[in-house]
């Protein structure tokens, strides 16, 4: 639903969309690691962007670079993301 709302649904095949029924809940990295394996991408080549502490914990557990999108939730204090941004537009700079 989220991908449809933000206009990105057509960029993903159905089997690349993992919900709570297809993978353990975050911060378990199983879903992220499954996608990386499916796409033939190693953790050192990936970036995980999220807006809460569970996203940062998931990325760290998977061994990927983490980017925290600061906005709704405060930056996590128990684990530090590799980068903090305030807008996705910052990724284009």
CB count within 10 Å of CB 48 equals 24
What pLDDT shows up at residue 72? 72
pLDDT in tens, 38-50: 999 999 999 999 9
Q: Report the SS3 class of residue 69.
A: strand
**Residue 3 carries which DSSP code?**
H
What pLDDT shows up at residue 44? 97
Higher pLDDT, 20 or 36: 36
pTM above 0.85, yes or no: no
pLDDT in tens, 65-90: 999 998 777 777 778 999 999 998 99
């Amino acid at each position: 639903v989220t991908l449809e709302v933000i206009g990105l649904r057509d960029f993903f095949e159905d089997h690349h969309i993992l919900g709570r029924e297809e993978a353990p809940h975050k911060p378990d990295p199983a879903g992220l690691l499954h996608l990386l394996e499916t796409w033939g991408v190693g953790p050192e080549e990936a970036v995980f962007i999220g807006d809460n502490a569970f996203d940062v914990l998931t990325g760290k557990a998977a061994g990927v670079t983490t980017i925290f999108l600061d906005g709704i939730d405060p930056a996590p204090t128990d684990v530090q993301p590799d980068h903090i941004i305030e807008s996705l537009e910052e990724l284009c700079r």
